[in-house]
Amino acid sequence: MSRPGFVLEVDDRTPALLTFSGDQLRLSRFGLGTKVVYPADADVSTNPIRLIDSALEAPAGTEPLEQRLTPSTKLTLVVLDTDRPRPRMRFDVRRSIVERVLELAARAGVDDVAIVVGGGLNKRWNPVDITRVLGDRVATSFQPDGRIESHDVTSEDAVAIGEVDGHAICVNRRVAESDLVVAIGAQFGHGEPCPLSAGIADVATLRRLGSPDSDRGFAKRVHETIHSSLNVFAVQAVLGQPHLSGALRFAHKREWEWKLADQLAFAAARQLAAALPRTGSQSLYSTPSADYAVVDVVGGAPAQVYDEAASVWQAANGVEVVGRADVVVTGAWGGAFDDGDPVGSPINAAHHALARRLGSHTGTPFVRDGGVAIAFHPLAPRFSNRRQSSAADFFAKILPETVDPAGMADFEERACSDEWYVDLYRKQFADHPLRTFQTWYRVAEATRSLSDVIWVGGNRRTADLFGHRSASTYADALEIASNTVGREPSITYLHGPGLPLGDVR
């Protein structure tokens, strides 16, 4: 059992604390009285088979999975990938769940089995991704026969399974025509309220679900329509915090507990990144992986599974924070949100810092209304030409016109029908262009109650484009913030590469 998270109040004995900024890891000093929210300790992964078996044999709200399988069952496993743990899992627990379900299907004599990757608007999986996540045994058994597919939200082959408010709800054909669907995912944050809907629906439905003016009632009715139309058994693995090793072994630890090896690893990482600014950070941080302890595995009726998994994650990671701060501070490490880029794109950095980390609370935000957010990231306007083509154009052409989601409907329509963007998505090279818009909508929503967002070390032009501000140093950021929150603000710093879940009281 890992140690729970806690809140440290900075005093004279507090050492310099680790801060994350793009591909830079630094030790920084914080003022006396600053509250530092440490997440629960990260543990190494262990064999999850017993937890998986328990979830399949004693599920919530339904009979055991094995009793729902017969030789005539048309079975589809949906591997949910709408939200991905970053850093990526060194060993993906979804592989173990898939293998266990396939063993039960084989024992029951089920012949018609297929796997659908429900990634929604995320980049579709290619054969390399399938092998990396699901393993050689599953890949070689299913790929040659075409029994693994990555769901295409733009497919004209989608099947309408119902209607909500006059809008046809369409989903993946294989899933719609199955006798039984086993939805397999991982819980490592608040996540999607219904990852199955986000993973297998068509682009028109996802546009409505993620639009800035979408109401919760519509989303609830969509989820209910999908679950009532499909026979679904959900399995959700609840993960702990990321446990880093090797060159990053120090990153998830508390600074006063660093041993000599941790101190040397940090010094070596700093020197390598300084001596080889591009290749050094690329080798260290471009695609880091981490162990995630499996806290629990929950199986059964989807609505109960997703609620229980979220509750378990909250219980394992919650940290009680007394009082809302005037200023909340966080880092944005590229290795925690962008694969293959140690710095990360500025739009994804803003989403990670402002929507995910600042939004990682149980209902009451870390910062008061009218408060200030300070984030560490260079906001370099860099995008992968192929993988982030739509995001690059969004940054260069749309944000200069408007940052208000309400004024982006026409731009969104054109992007979703752009043949180049859609072709990159369909050929498994890039996210769907709609994902960039919905990422920005979440950023705008997260900053609506803030009086200012200040980026330490941030590119000034990018910050201006976002409607934010930039500062050269943390001290300069506090000086700028003093115009709003005064000279002696209360400050909360969210520590670590994971998600410190705050229960603010």
CA nearest neighbour of 326 among 365, 275, 353, 272: 365
Phi-psi region of 350 (alpha: psi -120 to 50; beta: other; left: phi over 0): alpha
In a domain, residue 505? The reply is no
List, in sequence order, the alpha helices (H) in 239-301: 260-275, 279-285
How many whole angstroms separate alpha carbon 442 and alpha carbon 161? 28
The count of other CB atoms within 10 Å of the CB of residue 159 is: 16
The count of other CB atoms within 10 Å of the CB of residue 499 is: 22
What CATH number is associated with residue 189?
3.40.50.11440
Contact (Cβ atoms closer than 8 angstroms) between residue 388 and residue 124: no
- Which DSSP symbol is given to 316? H
Q: How many domains are contained in the chain?
A: 1
* Distances from the Cα of 12 to the Cα of 6, 16, 19, 27, 329, angstroms: 19, 11, 19, 16, 20
In a domain, residue 154? The reply is yes
Q: Which two tokens stand for residue 94?
A: 């979804």
How many whole angstroms separate alpha carbon 479 and alpha carbon 477? 5
List, in sequence order, the alpha helices (H) in 116-254: 127-142, 173-176, 195-200, 203-210, 216-229
pTM above 0.85, yes or no: yes
In a domain, residue 251? The reply is no
| 3-class DSSP state of 254 | coil
For 389, what's the count of Cα atoms within 13 Å in the CB-facing half-sphere? 17
Q: Which two tokens stand for residue 261?
A: 């090896």
How many whole angstroms separate alpha carbon 177 and alpha carbon 180? 9
Residues spanned by the domain of 222: 49-239
Contact (Cβ atoms closer than 8 angstroms) between residue 477 and residue 339: no
Contact (Cβ atoms closer than 8 angstroms) between residue 148 and residue 117: yes
In a domain, residue 30? The reply is no
The count of other CB atoms within 10 Å of the CB of residue 490 is: 18
In a domain, residue 260? The reply is no
In a domain, residue 23? The reply is no
Cis, bond preceding 15 (omega within 30 deg of 0): no
Q: What is the CA radius of gyration of the chain?
A: 23
Distance from CA of residue 390 to its chain's centroid? 20
Per-residue pLDDT of the chain (505 residues; tens, 9 = 90+): 679 999 999 999 999 999 999 988 899 999 999 999 999 999 998 899 999 999 999 999 999 999 999 999 999 999 999 988 889 999 999 999 999 999 999 999 999 999 999 999 999 999 999 999 999 999 999 999 999 999 999 999 999 999 999 999 999 999 999 999 999 999 998 878 889 999 999 999 999 999 998 888 999 999 999 999 999 999 999 999 999 988 899 999 999 999 999 999 999 888 877 776 666 677 667 678 899 999 999 999 999 999 999 999 999 999 999 999 999 999 999 888 888 788 899 999 999 999 999 999 999 999 999 999 999 999 999 898 788 999 999 999 999 999 999 999 999 999 999 999 999 999 999 999 999 999 999 999 999 999 999 999 999 999 999 999 999 999 999 999 999 999 999 999 999 998 889 999 9
